[in-house]
Amino acid sequence: MAQSPLHFVQQRVPLLRELPVEVTGISAIAFFVALGFGIVAPVIPTFAREFGVSALAAASVISAFAGMRLVSATPAAWMLGKFGERNVLTSGLVIVSVSSAMAGASQSFVQLLVLRAVGGLGSTMFTVASMAFLLRVVEASKRGRASSAWSGGFLTGALAGPAVGGVFAVWSLRAPFFVYATTLLMAAFVSWRSLRHAHIIEDAAASDPDNDDSIVTLRVAAAQPAYRAAVSVNFSTGFVRFGLINAIAPLFVVEALGQNASLASTGFLVSSIGQAVSLPRAGRWTDDKGRRFVLLLGSLITVGTLVTLALFQSVHMYFVAMLFLGASGALLSAAPTAVVGDVTRGKPRGPALATYSMSADFGGIFGPLVAGYLLDVSGGFKVPMLLAAALMASVALLVFRMPETRVKS
C-alpha cells in the first residue's frame, strides 16, 4: 500500500519520525500558513497605499489583523469545547482564506481594513486550535519535540514565503492575496482530511469521568508558578523578538552601524538559521532535561545577547547576536507550550489557553511602541536593548523559581 504524503514526510524528517503522524499534519498546516503569510505580508502596506491613504492608515491594516487576533482569543478557545479542535482549526483556515481572497479584490480601503480584521479572527481560531490539538495528540514525554516540530513548520514556511513572494508582487500587488488564500485552502484540506481520525491522548486526571473539573480554569492555572512563567516567557518573546527586535534592528543597522538596510535582512536570515538548527535539540532537551532547564537557558542567552549587543555595537557583533537570538528563540518556543500542556493536564481549552496565546500578541503590539518611544527619548539604541534585557532577566527569575512540570517516564 502506498504511503500517504504525511507518512512520507514523517519518515524523512528525524524530528517527526518519533512523533504521531498527526504532528506531521499540524506542522504541514503551519508551513502552508506561514508560506502564504510570508508572501502576502510585505505587500499589504503598499497595496493599502494604492487607495490614496496615509502611511498611518496603511499601517492600521496590519494593526487591525493583530488587534482582532488579540480580542478573539477567548472566543476561539471557547469554540474548542463546543465544536472540537479539528472543526475550529479547519474553519479558521477557511475564514482567513476567503477573507484574503476578498481582500485581494478590495475596491476600497475600508473593505481591505475590514477583511483583514476578519482574517485576524480566523487566524486566532487556527492558532488556538492547532496548539490545543498538538498538545492532545502527543504523550506528555514528547510535548517538547512536538512543539519544536510545529515551530519548525512555521519557520520553514516563513523562510520560503518572502523568497517567492517577490515574483507575485512584481506581477500584481493583488496576486499575493490570492496565493495566500490558496495556501490556506491547502492547509484546510490537510486539516480536514488528515486529522479526522486523530488519536487524542489525555492525562488520567483530565479523562476521569468522575472529575468535574477536567478542564483547568484560568484561576487554577494562574495559581501555578509554572503557568505564570510560561505566560511571561510568551509575552517577553513577543515583546523582544516580534516587537522590539523587528522594529529597531533595521534602524540599528542603518543608524548605529552605518550600514545598508539590506544587512538587516541578512541578520534576520542568520537568526532564522540559528533557530532552525537549534529547534530539534530544543525539543529533545525540553523532554529529556526538563522544561525549566530549557526556559532558563533560553532566557539567560537572550539576556546576555541583548546586553552584549547594547554595549558592543559592531557589524560582527550584530550577526553573532542575531544567531544567538535565533538559538534562544528555539528554546523559548518549545518549552513554554509544553508547560501549558503539563499544567492543563493534556486538555488545553478555555481561558487558560487563550491567555497564553494572547500574551505573545500583547508583547508584539507593545514591543515596537515602547522601543520607538525609548529610541526617540534616549536618542540611542542602548536604552531599549537594556530594557529588553531587564525584562528577560525578570522572566528568568520567574523561571528559576518555578517547579519542574515534566513528568519523568
Tell me, rounded to whole angstroms, the distance of Cα 351 from its chain centroid: 18
- 352, three cell numbers: 487558560
- Residue whose entry in the numeric block shows the C-alpha cell 493534556: 346
How far is it, in rounded angstroms, from Cα 391 to Cα 386? Answer: 9
The pTM for the full model equals 0.80
Residue 334: strand, helix, or coil: helix
Q: Cα–Cα distance between 127 and 190 in angstroms, integer?
A: 15
Q: What is the pLDDT of residue 282?
A: 92
The sign of the torsion formed by the CA atoms of 147, 151, 152, 157 equals positive
Task: Give the distance, in angstroms, between the CA of residue 232 and the centroid of all CA atoms in the same chain.
Answer: 15
pLDDT of 3 reads 62
Per-residue pLDDT of the chain (409 residues; tens, 9 = 90+): 456 777 777 777 777 778 888 888 898 899 899 888 888 877 887 888 888 888 677 777 877 887 888 888 888 888 888 888 889 999 999 999 999 999 999 999 999 999 999 999 999 999 889 988 888 888 888 888 888 888 888 888 877 777 676 667 677 888 889 999 999 999 999 888 877 766 555 443 344 434 445 567 888 888 999 999 999 999 999 888 876 777 777 778 888 888 876 787 788 888 888 988 999 899 999 999 999 999 999 999 999 999 999 998 899 999 999 999 999 999 998 899 999 989 987 666 678 888 888 888 888 878 877 888 888 888 788 998 999 999 999 999 999 999 999 876 5
For residue 311, give the C-alpha cell: 554595549
CA-CA distance, 140 to 203, in Å (whole number)? 8
Phi, psi torsion values for 72, nearest 5 degrees: -100, 5
pLDDT at 409: 57
Q: What is the structure's pLDDT at 163?
A: 65
Query: How far apart, in whole angstroms, are the C-alpha atoms of residue 153 and residue 201?
Result: 22
Which phi-psi region, left, alpha or beta, contains residue 259 (left: φ > 0; alpha: ψ -120 to 50)? beta
Domains of the chain, start order: 5-192 (1.20.1250.20), 218-401 (1.20.1250.20)
- Other Cβ atoms less than 10 A from the Cβ of 160: the count is 15
The C-alpha atoms of residue 110 and residue 93 are separated, in whole angstroms, by 23
Give me the pLDDT at residue 321, please: 92
Look at residue 171 in the predicted model and tell me its pLDDT.
79
